[in-house]
């Protein structure tokens, strides 16, 4: 079974990108400059920002379901990110070299399992999780910081 890892849609963040620091702060958003790579993983492009590049740090509802598993947390989006990334049967750069926790969800948004892996073993774990009975999609999170990375669906 194949899989697709999708970045977030860029258009949902467009209005934020032109706001002043003060207007962003009023919305609970911070514009920060990337100081290292890796370290500022963009959820649109699924790549780490380059040092010196501007990113927005904001709270994002990554699992907007009407279940106890509704979830939001801080994410980065690159100021320059213009297009949603799509990786078929491949891990995006932000999922390489980091331990990734996988949350396995049913079609109605209920958590039915979890796993964790890194690099090559992560691909095997994604494929096994999507084969699990009742699995509809996965959410990948950075295992150390807990932030949402991307949604993974069967291809």
Q: What is the pLDDT along the chain (155 residues), one digit of tens a residue?
A: 799 999 999 999 999 999 999 999 999 999 999 999 999 999 999 999 999 999 999 999 999 999 999 999 999 999 999 999 999 999 999 999 999 999 999 999 999 999 999 998 999 999 999 999 999 999 999 999 999 999 999 99
59, 74 contact by CB (below 8 A) = yes
What is residue 141's predicted lDDT score, i.e. its pLDDT?
98
Give the E-state strand segments of 1-155 in sequence order.
3-6, 30-33, 54-63, 71-78, 86-88, 100-105, 111-117, 137-142, 148-154
Q: What is the pTM for the complete model shown?
A: 0.93
Where does residue 130 rank: exposed (0-12), middle (13-18), buried (19+ CB within 10 A)? buried
What confidence score (pLDDT) does residue 92 get? 98
pLDDT for 80? 93
Evaluate the omega torsion of the peptide bond into residue 109 and state whether it is cis, within 30 degrees of 0: no
* pLDDT at 1 (0 to 100): 74
Beta bridge partners of 8: none
The whole-number pLDDT of residue 19 equals: 96
């Amino acid at each position: 079974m194949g899989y697709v890892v999708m970045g977030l849609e860029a258009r949902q963040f467009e209005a934020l990108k032109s706001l002043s620091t003060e207007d962003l702060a009023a919305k609970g958003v911070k514009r920060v400059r990337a100081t290292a790579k890796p370290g500022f993983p963009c959820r649109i492009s699924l790549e780490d920002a380059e040092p010196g590049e501007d990113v927005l740090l904001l709270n994002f509802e990554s699992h907007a379901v009407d279940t106890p598993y509704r979830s939001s947390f801080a994410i980065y989006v690159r100021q320059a990110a213009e297009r949603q990334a799509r990786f078929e049967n491949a891990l995006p750069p932000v999922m390489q070299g980091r331990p990734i926790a996988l949350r396995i969800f049913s079609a109605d948004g209920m958590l039915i399992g979890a796993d964790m892996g890194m690099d090559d073993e992560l691909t095997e774990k994604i494929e096994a999780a999507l084969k699990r009975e009742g699995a509809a999609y996965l959410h990948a999170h950075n295992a150390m910081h807990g932030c949402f990375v991307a949604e993974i669906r069967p291809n």
